[in-house]
Structure 1
Amino acid sequence: MRWTLKPKPDSITVDSLADKLGTGNAVARLLVQRGIKTFEAARNFFRPDLKDLHDPFLMKDMDKAVERIEQAMEEGENIMVYGDYDVDGTTSVALMSSFLKFRYPNVTTYIPDRYAEGYGISYQGIDYAADNDIQLIIALDCGIKAIEKVAYAREKGIDFVICDHHRPGIEIPDAVAVLDPKREDCEYPYDELCGCGVGFKLIQAITIKNNEPEETLLPYLDLVATAIGADIVPITGENRILAYHGLHVINVAPRTGIKCLLGDRKNVSITDVVFIVAPRINAAGRMKHGLHAVNLLTEEDEESCKRFASEIETYNTDRRSADKTITEEAIQQIIERQEEDRLTTVVYQENWHKGVIGIVASRLTETWYRPTLVFTRSGDRLAASARSVKGFDVYEALEGCKEHIEQFGGHKYAAGLTLLEDQYEDFKRKFEEVVTETIDRNLLTPEISIDAELKLKDITPKFYRILKQFAPFGPGNMSPVFISKGLTDTGFGKCVGEDKTHLKCQVKQGEGGPSFSVIGFNLGSKLDIIKAGKKFDAVYSLDENTWNGNTSIQLKLKDIRESN
């Protein structure tokens, strides 16, 4: 691990902010590092307000989208809400379809089959719309590159409204409206929305046009928060406002489907959404069909929801089993082919489950920490999921290999692609070549970015109480990471867990100060560093540990090393 301490912010700005907030310098320093330098900015950060959401009509084509949807409702047309099969896509479809159905009956939903149709808008979906006399398709979390498919739909008399957040190609589809804040000709002030966030802006625009109160939108915010957490978009700007209020809805009045997935959990955080709700919603599209997730998220009857949630739990168990098996096979393939020294990981087996190759790519990236692609067969093509390391744009790298690719799309750190089988070896060679030429070698060592050095005596209940208000955490607003030096174990350090892979101890800093319990997941191998009263430096975040009804602050270790 590379330990990187962030530069200290300007002390005059920190002192001024600390004075205005009355919080002390440690908190003010963290805020200034996040670009929050004034009392007003701090107030907006700690109390995100829905009134600070941008005017949706600032997004290019928003007026056209609203006009076309209202025309469809006025003229009694059939509307199809179409979305991808992942969390962002299925929450988008649940949001848009339930919003429209509340106003208008002729609305149906469509999620493509991951295996029969693949990602994005499909000819099969358009044919289904034509066969069912559908005149308007609202596509969410997909469509920005569907030039030919939108043209095909137009020939059949079907209009498209596209709500996407992926990077556009050179050409924009000839749809009635294309909402995508990443369009170069779109001047919308915030371009990090997820697909469900763009869908939310569309329903916000409809409510504004019809002078409906802001409260109309509140029941949909749990879906938006779920998509923001699952799609790993920055939790800054509008996303922070939407995630903050969406989590409030999840904790106070969640929709029945989300409640069934969370069980009796209280004080639900974005982490709970990412690790409990999102994998289960995803599992439906990975193992069976994305419509199962949409049904769960739009159903209001509790008994039906419990049945749907139980089915989805089964899919999630199957997904975990497939993920474990394929990861082991992929690791074996890399070792057998002696490819550990490459700068990229590219593996392929034709019978790997297409629904889990993205998760496997993430696992392999964690293991070897380099740009990774996992391929499987999909019909008469090969399909892959790509994942990257912090700081390296895998989408750009794929651009450099596009002579071997049939189609691709995605983001800086995650992408998908298809290619012809006879192009696989050439692609693999070219991808290694492009990455070798462009990657900074330092990026191939995982980095821990440290916000500040902290003395243990400064970790007070008040400090932690304020720190909790920095949430929701995520990209662009990560949970603060601290370093404390010259720590010693109080003598109870040990390895814990079923396979003794985790490190547990109690630490102090010098004499007379406070001691804190410590947990270090997967750091059991470092037990020797803390033995026999040795001094060590620790990098950690803070969280709470509840045991026998008592709650205390604990250090959640990221790494340790011997003190100099």
Structure 2
Amino acid sequence: MKTRWTLKPKPDPITAQALAEKLGTGLAVSKLLVQRGITTFEEAKKFFRPQLDGLHDPFLMKDMDKAVVRIEQAMEAGENIMVYGDYDVDGTTSVALMSSFLKFRYPNVTTYIPDRYAEGYGVSYQGIDYAEDNDVSLIIALDCGIKAIDKVAYAKKKGIDFVICDHHRPGKEIPDAAAVLDPKRSDCNYPYDELCGCGVGFKLIQAITIKNNEPEETLLPYLDLVATAIGADIVPITGENRILAYHGLNVINVAPRKGIQSLLGERKNVSITDVVFIVAPRINAAGRMKHGLHAVNLLTEEDEAISATYAEEIETYNTDRRSTDKSITEEAKQQILELQEENRLTTVVYNEKWHKGVIGIVASRLTETWYRPTLVFTKSGERLAASARSVKGFDVYEALEACSEHIEQFGGHKYAAGLTLLEAEYDNFKRKFEEVVSETIDRQLLTPEIAIDAELDLKDITPKFYRILKQFAPFGPGNMSPVFLTRNLTDTGFGKCVGADKTHLKCQVKQEGSNVKFDVIGFNLGEKLNLIEQGKTFDAVFSLDENTWNGNTTIQLRLKDIRESI
């Protein structure tokens, strides 16, 4: 697929030079920092060494005081509390965090994760009925609830209060709950509104510890859960999220909970990438293939042997998930080709037999292939359910809002959402969605963009430079691993396609006028081998990482794309 290369604007040279002198890190590093909005020594110190005392006062969040009062009132009165959360990583980590925190203080706490197939996303009537049957009078809903107007009213009639901890966009009305914590509320002045659901839950337990004058260290054991949710939910790793992810990764590396340890095995120096690609898919697989409660059980289990057994079960679910999503993705691609819809600006596909648990993954894979806003539908009871994914720069949530006449309910974010509709509305919705996207999307957004931080000569890639660069982590949206452009490279003669199906490109490069050489790996770039053969000169866009071979660790270039030099 063709890509756009976009060089980010160069930072102010005077600011970058002044910062380089203060930090003693060199101009290349200071330019990257200024690009990230870091212009002073103090800001750089906070960036490289995030401190927990940099977290905002949780009581700045609208309704936080009400939430703390209602929970403490429940504990004092001996009420039964139910911790309720969504079945994905953000929801299950939230439930694990809140339930284990409360159970440490109070015994009458139960957990509830809705069944993806029988109940669907979010707060359900079935869950509320279960609470009533078990004499629960307070439900703490995490990573869901902001749009549950009718369900919260239904619970209230049964004498059940709600405390909602959500981070999704609210509708026009806020549920009539005891407290609604959501930094995206228009009437909430909390300084940071990019928290994930588990992050909002963390702010609530932080508020409880502050109210009871408990030391900051009380919160440390829960940060591995928050870091896992931040990585999995693809929220920006800026501000508070950066502080929470930084310290959460430290907990994972130093003293992880048994469940996370059993998923990671013997891995050392765990990064946010490891969390996203190893831990998160397995936690998600429980809710996709079986039930989200399996994930909560794993994340709250303190016995190593039992935890290992849970992890083995979840590994089986993940294997099933991989096989299922692969076959459905192939079926969906075939459907697009058969319908001859490659020229549409949207991808909307449907098969009533597709597994509801993997349609979000399939939507992501189709977006990678055709790079356009995508929805994958399947049958869910009497209705159709879909997962939506978008391309960078296009707000799919807003596009769905413009199609709301054909939708029963929907929720989500700018780049990922879920919805349900009546089967009779499928064709109308598909037509309207294409119309809305056609009218609103910048056509340029339909070509993947590689945002380049800076041009760099190979001679500038030194061990010291890379050592400092590693300290920019944890990486993620809002703080991506720096991407560089180097021009006029040639292969030293080792270029070849590698991998079982020869889809990856491996070579060694040098730059005109320099003897410095670096090994290069380009995943899924094997088809571009011809651009580097026979001494051709090419430009490369890459990030830096390390390769360990026979006990030796070296810096290598991880290619994103290459082009013939002009």
When normalised by structure 2's length, the TM-score is 0.99
Aligned to 1:442: 444
Q: State the 1:47 CA deviation.
A: 0.3
Equivalences for residues 169-188 of structure 1 within 5 A:
169-188=171-190
What is the aligned counterpart of 1:394 among 370, 378, 396? 396
Q: Which of 528, 531, 538 is the equivalent residue of 2:530?
A: 528
Which of 411, 427, 430 is 2:429 aligned to? 427
Match of 1:151 in 2: 153
**SS of structure 2 residue aligned to 1:70:** helix
The structural deviation recorded for 1:512 is 4.0
Q: State the partner residue of 1:71.
A: 73
RMSD across aligned C-alpha pairs, in angstroms? 0.4
Pick the aligned partner of 1:32 from 31, 34, 40.
Answer: 34
Report the counterpart of residue 16 of structure 2 in structure 1: 14
Task: Check if 1:195 corresponds to 2:192.
Answer: no
* Partner SS, residue 318 of structure 2: helix
The equivalent of 1:382 in structure 2 is 384
Using the alignment, how far apart are the partners of 1:44 and 1:307 within structure 2? Answer: 40
Distance in 1 separating the partners of 2:514 and 2:388 = 51
Q: Does 1:109 align with 2:111?
A: yes
Equivalent residue, structure 1, for 2:55? 53
Residues 10-60 of structure 1, C-alpha deviations (whole Å, 9 max, x = no match): 100001100100111100000000000111000000000000000000000
Deviation per CA, 1:509-535: give whole Å up to 9, x if none.
124431000000000000010011111
CA distance in 1: counterparts of 2:500 and 2:432, whole angstroms: 43
* 1:207 counterpart = 2:209: yes
Q: How far apart are the structure 2 equivalents of 1:69 and 1:147?
A: 21
Alignment of 1:123-522 (within 5 A): 123-522=125-524
| Helix, strand or coil at the partner of 2:289 | helix
- Partner AA of 1:283 in structure 2: A
Query: Partner of 1:211: helix, strand, or coil?
Result: coil
In structure 2, C-alpha distance between the alignment counterparts of 1:512 and 1:159, rounded to whole Å:
69
Question: In 1, are the aligned partners of 2:459 and 2:514 still within 8 Å (CA)?
Answer: no
SS of alignment partner, residue 15 of structure 1: helix
Structure 1 segments unaligned to the other structure (5+ residues): none
Q: Quote the residue 1:545 is aligned against.
A: 547
What amino acid sits opposite 2:443 in the alignment? R
- For the residues of structure 1 that align with 2:356 and 2:39, how far apart are their CA atoms? 46
SS at match of 2:147: coil
The 2-side partners of 1:337 and 1:183 are apart by 42
Q: Return the alpha-carbon distance in structure 2 between the equivalents of residues 325 and 91 of structure 1.
A: 29
- Aligned-partner Cα distance in 2 for 1:367–1:175: 43
Q: Are 1:556 and 2:558 matched, yes or no? A: yes
Q: Which SS does the other structure have where 2:532 is aligned?
A: helix
- 1:456–1:513 Cα contact (<8 Å) kept: no
Partner Cα distance (2:238, 2:500) in 1: 38
Which residue in the other structure is 2:96 paired with?
Answer: 94
SS of residue in 2 equivalent to 1:113: coil
Name the CA distance, whole Å, in 2 between partners of 1:13 and 1:169: 42
- 1:464 and 1:45 mapped to 2: Cα distance? 17
Contact 2:298 2:311 in 1 (8 A): yes
Runs of 4+ in 1 over 6 A off after TM superposition: none
SS in 1 for 2:559: strand
| Seq. identity, % | 85
CA contact (8 A) 2:538 2:562 kept: yes
What is the aligned residue count?
A: 564
Preserved contact between residue 249 and residue 272 of structure 2 (Cα < 8 Å): yes
| Secondary structure of 2:314's aligned partner | helix
Letter in 1 for 2:291: H
